[in-house]
């Protein structure tokens, strides 16, 4: 894959060797995602990927390298032929020490606080699943799913149409309107 070195403007490396995306780079990515024209096409997805200098995987162009893990394909854009671009998943932090829970918790809190501050005036809903997963939905129906696991922190972004589908499903589920086959 790519031999691209870490860019210090995009990723900082802690003394322990953890790689963490800078908030300025995250802000740049989020600004670009939020300003996409929806529904976004596969060509829009490729242009988004290329804008950040991420190298496409030779097997599938919507699988690509990222700032935090430039040496291999680690991030992806979900695309479906019915609704266009549905989501983006990428690493915010990697190479955390899996035996140091405090390190992961601290990195997760760092990004969680940033996202909550960024969405402060646009936050429509927030669900916390445990101490290492949070779902934030903006008024313009962009879903931000932040997850932390032993050695990494990831961020998944959903398009407004995909988020709308999820919200419709959850609403129908809450009202008990799901068909029997959907419950199985």
Residue 120 placed within a domain: yes
The full DSSP string for 35-104 is: TSPSSP-HHHHHHHHHHTTPPBPSS-TTEE--SS-TTS--EEEEEETTTEEEEEEEEEEE---TT-HHHH
* Chain-centre distance for alpha carbon 10: 16
Our count of domains for the chain comes to 1
Q: How confident is the model over 45-62, as a mean pLDDT?
A: 95
pLDDT at 49 over 50: yes
Residue 145 placed within a domain: yes
- What's the pLDDT score for residue 161? 85
In contact, 38 and 24? CB cutoff 8 Å: no
Residue 128 placed within a domain: yes
SS3 108: helix
In contact, 45 and 51? CB cutoff 8 Å: no
Burial class (CB in 10 A: 0-12, 13-18, 19+), 51: exposed
**Confidence band for 1, pLDDT divided at 50, 70 and 90:** very low
Q: How many degrees, rounded to 5, is the angle at CA 42 between CA 126 and CA 1? A: 90
Residue 113 placed within a domain: yes
The answer to whether the pTM exceeds 0.75 is yes
Q: How confident is the model over 17-32, as a mean pLDDT?
A: 97
Q: Which of 49, 75, 90, 87 is nearest to 163 (CA)?
A: 87
Residue 1 placed within a domain: no
**Domain range for 152:** 11-183
Residue 64 placed within a domain: yes
């Amino acid at each position: 894959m790519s031999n691209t070195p870490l860019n210090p403007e995009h990723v900082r490396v802690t003394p322990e060797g953890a790689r963490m995306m800078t908030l300025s780079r995250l802000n740049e990515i989020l600004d670009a995602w939020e300003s996409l024209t929806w529904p976004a096409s596969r060509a829009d997805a490729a242009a988004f990927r290329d804008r950040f200098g991420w190298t496409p995987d030779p097997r599938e162009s919507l699988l690509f390298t990222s700032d935090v893990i430039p040496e291999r394909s680690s991030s992806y854009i979900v695309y479906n032929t019915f609704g266009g671009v549905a989501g983006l998943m990428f690493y915010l932090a990697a190479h955390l020490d899996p035996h140091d829970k405090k390190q992961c918790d601290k990195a997760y809190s760092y990004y969680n606080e940033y996202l909550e501050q960024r969405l402060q005036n646009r936050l429509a809903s927030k669900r916390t699943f445990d101490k290492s997963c949070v779902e934030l939905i903006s008024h313009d129906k962009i879903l931000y799913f932040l997850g932390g696991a032993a050695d990494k922190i990831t961020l998944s972004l959903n398009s407004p149409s995909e988020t709308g589908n999820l919200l419709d499903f959850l609403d129908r589920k809450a009202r008990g309107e799901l068909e029997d086959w959907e419950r199985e």
